[in-house]
Amino acid sequence: MAILSTHNMAVGYGQGNKRTVLLKNLNLELSQGTLVALLGKNGAGKSTMLRAITCDTQPIEGTVEIDGKASTVISKRDLSRLVALVATERIMGGAFTIRELVALGRQPHTGFLGRLSDHDREVVQRSLEAVGIDHKAEQHVAELSDGERQKAMIAKALAQETPIIVLDEPTAFLDVASRLETMKLLHSLAREQNKAVLLSSHDISQSLLLADELWVITSNREVITGTTEQVVMSGAMDRVFDNTSILFNNDLCDYETQLPSSLSVSLDCDDEALRHCVVNALLRNGVAVGEGGSTVIVKAVDNFELENGTGATSVKELVKLLRGAAIN
Amino acid sequence: MKSAGIHRMVIVTTTLVVLLLALVVGCLLLGSVNIDPGVVLGILLGNDSGNEAWNIIVLQSRLPMIVTAMLAGAALSVSGLLLQTTFNNPLAGPSILGVSTGAGLGVAIVMLAMGGTIGGVFGDSLGSYMATLVGALLGAGVVLVILITFASIVKSSTMLLIIGILISYLASSVISLLNSVATEQGLHSYVAWGFGNFSGVSLEQMPVFCSIILLSLAGALLMIKPLNALLLGTRYAQNLGVDTHRTRNLLLLITGVLTAVVTAFCGPIGFIGLVVPHIARLALNTSEHSRLLPVTMLAGAVVALMCSLLSVTSPHGIIPINAITPVIGVPIIIYIIINRRRINYFN
């Protein structure tokens, strides 16, 4: 049973005659215990869609249903106990301690004056521990790295104790290590705390690795949904960008650009990583790797052998040899 | 540790309270007329000093001035803090957003409508000071309505700040136009009011002044929870269940009343509203309003009393408050701007 669903939802911006519909006929379902990645190019409508789902804005058409109720009849306070948000906006509270920041996540549960009960403090502590930032709890937000800030905001979302967490590009400004860590954290939150986690991302390979489901916005404004395997195998990933020279490589779990090549060879290599590197190096030099053409035996990064017995000690040299052979 | 923030709060509060008490004593004892401390104490305890002038100086001049300065300082500082948080802009303040100038325009219109027949700043009649108060409230109110209207059109806080500055210019130019047709008497009382002073509230006016300001300050204390949420930006605040529209309007209402009342009684006093919240933040090193707001009030009272004491103890007669506040305020603002990358609450 989905905790959040949309019914014939259309999202966009503007009003009346000037309104622009970005995406329509959206019938999406978000379930607890699931990590969903929303993918699409810039301007595809990811953030607009998330705003409608978090009820920041009303959808142009259709409805959002959360926990069995139409979003329009849910009070602001109830809503703040159902959906927690981690946005991209930088916050102003640099002189909050991390603990104080995370404690703001308790606001939907505290009284008029915002006084924290023992239970509230416990939830805050648990949230800090869950994201692994409890050792910095008394430091100020301004003293944190971007990755730690993001963790603190996720802890704030956890402290809200909502079944749904929505994150708008949570890994956008992070370095690779923090990205991996953040995605792993979100994945484990979905698993261990039974949260419905919805995030938008440009980080395709991480999303494909850790997301249970994908919502992919294609370049012709369709939204393809399904389990990650289903969506990848349906070929939807190829339709995210208009550009036909950018294609999705199912093996690599990422996009690659098609470089022009005038030659084709087949590689014989036992080491997968080495093979991968050499394929890239050859592509850069205008040599496509596939079936047919002459066969190159790759033994190491500086040891290549061709069928005819000649050898090369670098890819550049190898390409020269191949071109010479092709002319003959 | 958790206690670090509380520890700091205790130190800051204690320091401010000691300073406040010292300044109160200073303001009671020092002034253009020398009165023996023992006599001052006697007068305060209800004894007749036998010198009618001394009785009047202590009870009807120095004491009201102390209360006025403390409340006005707290009021302006809280206005500044609320505006800075509401507009997510550390350089916001009641004067920069045009609220003070709006109130000033209201006062100018009332003063000129009375043809400058009133003596001194307010005159003695209940009617004239009530009229001035209403003028200031209306002036500040109009500016706030304009700000609220624009707030729903322009979403950016910075743009709203610029609109406030523009409104301020416009109101100033109307005030100048009015002054050019004013009688000499009217112009004189307006100019005197414009210098800013804390001696303008008489004993009869005191209950009105005190109750409006204390009620508004209490109102501000009730807004601590949404104020903290607003520091995360409107999107996060909404997600935490805050009705951001209503909260913003309420905060602006409190700010408007506080600024208008102080402006009507004490003149358009600059810098206190802008600077004191920064003093509180720097001293506490926190963004948490449950500590920031009370300390801002206390620090505002201290700073205003300090200005007040400086203004009356000069050997060359009374110095206008507005000649003192920039001397204290400008260096602090420049310090903050230069060091903003190292100051936590900016980052």
Residues in chain A within 8 Å Cβ distance of B235: 56, 85, 87, 89
Measured distance CA(A189)–CA(A176) in Å, rounded:
20
Does this model's pTM top 0.90? My answer is no
Q: Are residues A121 and A187 both part of a single domain?
A: yes
Q: Are residues A182 and A321 both part of a single domain?
A: no
- Quote the domain boundaries for residue B339: 2-346
Burial class from Cβ neighbours inside 10 Å (0-12, 13-18, 19+) for residue A290 reads exposed
Cβ–Cβ contacts within 10 Å for residue A224, how many? 18
Average pLDDT, chain B: 87
The predicted-structure confidence for B276-289, as pLDDT tens digits, reads as follows 999 999 999 999 99
Q: What is the DSSP letter of A290?
A: S
Contact B228 A114 (CB under 8 A): yes
What's the pLDDT band for B308 if we cut at 50, 70, 90? very high
- Quote the domain boundaries for residue A29: 4-249
Residue among B1, B2, B235 minimizing CB distance to A89: B235
Measured distance CA(B24)–CA(B11) in Å, rounded:
20
Domain for residue A256, yes or no?
A: no
Q: What are the angstrom distances between the C-alpha of B241 and each of A84, A205, B245?
A: 10, 35, 12
Q: Are residues A99 and A221 both part of a single domain?
A: yes
Residues in chain B within 8 Å Cβ distance of A80: 239-241
Q: Are residues A137 and A217 both part of a single domain?
A: yes
Residue A217 backbone dihedrals phi, psi, to 5 degrees? -95, 115
Exposure string for A303-315, b = 16+ CB within 10 A, e = fewer: ebbbeeeeebeeb
pLDDT of the residue at B121: 47
Over range B99-125, report the average pLDDT: 71
Contact B286 A95 (CB under 8 A): yes
Cβ–Cβ contacts within 10 Å for residue B110, how many? 22
pLDDT of the residue at A250: 75
The shortest C-alpha distance from B179 to chain A (Å) reads 42
pLDDT of the residue at B125: 65
Q: Are residues A17 and A111 both part of a single domain?
A: yes
DSSP 3-state assignment of A172?
coil
Q: Which residues pair with A294 in a beta bridge?
A: A265
**Residue A77 contacts B where some CB pair is shorter than 8 Å:** yes
Q: What is the DSSP string of B274-343?
A: HHHHHHHHHHHT---HHHHHHHHHHHHHHHHHHHHHHHHS-TTSPPPHHHHHHHHHHHHHHHHHHTGGGS
Residue B254 backbone dihedrals phi, psi, to 5 degrees? -60, -45
Interface test with A, best of B2, B84, B157, B232 (most A CBs within 10 A): B232
Domain for residue A254, yes or no?
A: no
pLDDT of the residue at B176: 87
What's the pLDDT band for B258 if we cut at 50, 70, 90? very high
B78 close to B217: Cβ distance less than 8 angstroms: yes
Contact A87 B347 (CB under 8 A): no
> Does B268 have pLDDT greater than 80?
yes
pLDDT of the residue at B123: 52
Q: Name the residue in chain A with its Cα closest to that of B282.
A: A95
**Residue partners of B256: CB distance under 8 A and separation at least 6:** B99, B137, B140, B141, B143, B144
Contact A138 B2 (CB under 8 A): yes
Say how many domains are in chain B.
1
The shortest C-alpha distance from B69 to chain A (Å) reads 29
DSSP 3-state assignment of A277?
helix
Q: Are residues A123 and A211 both part of a single domain?
A: yes
CATH number at residue B285: 1.10.3470.10
A residues 125-184 closer than 8 Å to B (CB) = 138, 140-143, 160
Domain for residue A295, yes or no?
A: yes
The predicted-structure confidence for A254-263, as pLDDT tens digits, reads as follows 787 777 777 8
> How many Cβ pairs within 8 Å bridge chains A and B?
99
The residues on B that touch A, with CB distances below 8 Å, are 1-2, 4-5, 88, 222, 224-225, 228-229, 231-233, 235-236, 238-243, 281, 285-288, 290, 344-347
Q: Are residues A79 and A199 both part of a single domain?
A: yes
Asked if the interface predicted TM-score (ipTM) of this complex is over 0.90, the answer is: no
Last residue of a domain, one of A196, A227, A249: A249
Measured distance CA(B254)–CA(B223) in Å, rounded:
10
The predicted-structure confidence for B129-159, as pLDDT tens digits, reads as follows 788 888 999 999 898 888 878 877 876 767 8
The H or E element that residue A9 is part of is strand A4-13
CATH number at residue A218: 3.40.50.300
C-alpha dihedral, B155 to B157 to B161 to B167, nearest 10°: 20
> Does B124 have pLDDT greater than 60?
no
Residue among A54, A92, A113 minimizing CB distance to B231: A92
- pLDDT, greater one: B215 or A58: B215
Q: Are residues A83 and A165 both part of a single domain?
A: yes
Q: What are the angstrom distances between the C-alpha of A256 and each of A217, A220, A224?
A: 18, 20, 21
A203 close to A183: Cβ distance less than 8 angstroms: yes
Q: Are residues A217 and A275 both part of a single domain?
A: no
pLDDT of the residue at B120: 42
Contact B281 A95 (CB under 8 A): yes
Residue among A80, A97, A104 minimizing CB distance to B5: A97
Domain for residue A258, yes or no?
A: no
> Does B189 have pLDDT greater than 80?
no
Q: Are residues A198 and A121 both part of a single domain?
A: yes
Measured distance CA(B300)–CA(B269) in Å, rounded:
12
Q: Are residues A276 and A150 both part of a single domain?
A: no
Q: What are the angstrom distances between the C-alpha of A86 and each of A166, A325, B161, B319?
A: 6, 58, 27, 52
Count CA atoms within 13 Å of residue A76 on its CB side. 15
- Given a cut of 50, the residues of chain A with pLDDT beneath it are none
Domain for residue A255, yes or no?
A: no
B258 close to B213: Cβ distance less than 8 angstroms: yes
Q: What are the angstrom distances between the C-alpha of A141 and each of A52, A91, A101?
A: 29, 9, 8
Say how many domains are in chain A.
2
Measured distance CA(B220)–CA(B229) in Å, rounded:
15
> Does B118 have pLDDT greater than 50?
no
Give the largest CA-CA distance in chain A. 85
